Structure 1
Amino acid sequence: MKHAWEAWQRARQRWWVRWGVDLAVAALLFMGVMAWQTRHLPGSGTPAPDFQLRTLTGEQVRLSELRGKPVVLAFWAPWCGVCKAESSTLSALRGMVGERAHVLTVAVAYEDEADVRRFVREQGADYPVLLGNDALSRSFQVDRFPTTFILSSEGRIEQATVGYTTRLGLLWRLWRAS
């Protein structure tokens, strides 16, 4: 009986080692892919390019006037399927952070404003949507969607991510920027 118990303990230890190695390799691959996807984006600590854009409701928003709170700034396109999936995540994040941070999105790469309005209506987006342009995309070096920046309360880029990001992922990034 004692021999069987010891054999089981050794096998169990080897299982945890294999599991730990697999987890470490997966984490390294994930981090490598993230680094590759964001390699052309402005780096951490870089001042975010200032802009003034109109919202769908006609208000003017200037990025520099939002200082004092962290900013989640998500660039998207109406034709982007992943952007559609991430839309509910951004709505939920806005509800979770309330007044502690600004959650803004910038629509770019669209044919006309009607495309943006249709996206907002179909996705039930309840976050501010700014109407961006190619010049703004170039200033942030955005060429894939969705691309999300987390800005510090001082207006510096803290993190950037390309592709779908979960609520937990956005909260974690926002927490690190605060």
Structure 2
Amino acid sequence: MSNPTKKDDDSQKPSEADLSSQTNRRWRNHLFELLVVVLVFIGLSQWLNRHLLQDGTHIPNLTLPTLQGNHSSLNWPAAHDKTLIYFFAPWCSVCRLSMPGLNTLPDNPNIRIIAIALDYEQTADVSRFIDDIGFNQEVLLGNPDIRQRFNITGYPSYYVLDREGKVIHQDRGMSTPPGLWLRTQI
């Protein structure tokens, strides 16, 4: 038989202060988890980029073949305020996902977008890849010397250069069109 004067702990409702305290604790936990994710992302990004050229590195003039068999040059000072150079390999699945996003960047006469193919066996492999993903920007054919000159150790990798050919941003891995656009605006 139960004691009528003794309150059952399970039947007590939490007070507003208890609920507020639990809500605050939950928010603090979520914020802490978000902070950990952001710090891990930043650390991973820094680790992936450790071999890329540093800000301020000057890129020399260069001329490379195009898919059409012509040649295209990068000369400094450039006609554009910024140049985005996107390095890819036709076998790269991340490139297959992220590269079409370059087509969605707003048309801006002050930004030149160039994709440079590396680590391919035949030009036909690059052409097939470009056709498959519907890429409609300028594509150049790189070589092992270009890969070494730009310190490319993984794909995709990209650089944003200023009018004088100096690196102002570099990154490696998946990037979204808004992320690439933002990097060209800074």
Shared fold (TM-score, shorter chain, > 0.5): yes
The 2-side partners of 1:153 and 1:15 are apart by 49
Q: Deviations over 1:113-156 (max 9, x none)?
A: 11111111111110100011110110001121111111123321
| Cα contact 2:160–2:184 (8 A) shared by 1 | yes
Match of 2:159 in 1: 149
1:16 partnered with 2:37: no
1:56 partnered with 2:49: no
Residues 48 and 67 of structure 1, relative CA distance in 2, 3 Å threshold: farther
The aligned amino acid for 1:84 is R
The 1-side partners of 2:185 and 2:69 are apart by 31
TM-superposed deviation, 1:97: 3.8
The aligned amino acid for 1:167 is P
| Cα contact 1:67–1:155 (8 A) shared by 2 | no
Deviates more, 1:4-13 or 1:101-110: 4-13
1:134 partnered with 2:144: yes
1:116 partnered with 2:161: no
The 2-side partners of 1:111 and 1:173 are apart by 31
Where 1:106 maps in the other structure, the secondary structure is strand
* Unaligned stretches of 5+ residues in structure 1: none
TM-superposed deviation, 1:60: 2.7
Q: Deviations over 1:34-82 (max 9, x none)?
A: 1111111111111124311122234432212535421111001111111
| Structure-to-structure mapping, 1:23-172, within 5 angstroms | 23-65=34-76, 66-93=78-105, 96-172=106-182
* Unaligned stretches of 5+ residues in structure 2: 1-13
The aligned amino acid for 2:98 is E
Residues 10 and 67 of structure 1, relative CA distance in 2, 3 Å threshold: farther
Where 2:96 maps in the other structure, the secondary structure is helix
Aligned pairs, number: 172
The aligned amino acid for 1:112 is Q
Residues 58 and 15 of structure 1, relative CA distance in 2, 3 Å threshold: same
The 1-side partners of 2:49 and 2:60 are apart by 17
The 1-side partners of 2:60 and 2:40 are apart by 31
Identity of aligned residues (%): 30
Root-mean-square deviation (CA, aligned residues, Å) is: 1.6
Larger radius of gyration: 2
The aligned amino acid for 1:83 is C
Structure number with the higher helix fraction is: 1
| Cα contact 2:115–2:139 (8 A) shared by 1 | yes
1:4 partnered with 2:5: no
The aligned amino acid for 1:27 is V
